[in-house]
Amino acid sequence: MSKSALVVVDMQRDFCEGGALAAANTPSLLQPLKNYIDEARRHGVLIVYTQDWHPANHSSFKVNGGPWPVHCVANTPGAELMPPLVAQAGDVVIHKGVGVDGAAYSGFDEATLEQQLREKGIDRVGVAGVATEYCVRATALDALKAKFETTMLEDLVRAVQDKDVPTAVADLKQAGGKLATSAAWLAATK
């Protein structure tokens, strides 16, 4: 029997509406994602949250010569999970981009995620969150490289630019990943 993990990518205040680097339409994602996480837990799915957790002098910030506004600085409100999402005991929380250099788009950039999934016997991951064309895409592609069966949950992701979603989906499919609704993915965990 397959063991599954739901990887919830970067659902942090700074990536949601009103944040420093907000993806589009995040208000419509929050409650459905919370409900889905609760349901997935009831099905025995491991919940994983990735969070950008940058030092204030991170190289990706415009003020330091990078492309992005200051966002998700470690231990600030902008780096917190966006309510109503809350990590619970037994969930895995991965902080990424903790060094000064490197964008750290993927939850697998900090090598502990693959190790933790292997230790828990996970062989199948569903990827949700933000932003489809950046961190969701990178996390899904790295999950595939690590040989996890990987599905992007099309109804539980949001992009910064919707025009870039087809490229992200094409990259996922070309690498052997799948695209499915969250209901179809969860139904296949049984």
Q: Chain centroid to CA 12: how far?
A: 10
Looking at 10, 52, 109, 142, which residue is catalytic? 10
163 flagged as catalytic = no
Looking at 16, 52, 72, 96, which residue is catalytic? 96
3-state helix, strand, coil in the chain (%, to 5): 35, 25, 40
101 flagged as catalytic = no
96 flagged as catalytic = yes
Crossing angle (nearest 10°) for helices 137-145 and 165-174: 0
- What 3-state DSSP class applies to 161? coil
Looking at 109, 135, 142, 178, which residue is catalytic? 135
Task: Tell me the β-bridge partners of 125.
Answer: 5, 150
Two tokens, residue 42: 């009831």
Tell me the C-alpha distance between 72 and 54, whole Å: 6
Tell me the C-alpha distance between 5 and 18, whole Å: 29
- What 3-state DSSP class applies to 99? coil
CB 125 within 8 A of CB 6: yes
Which residues are catalytic, by number? 10, 96, 135
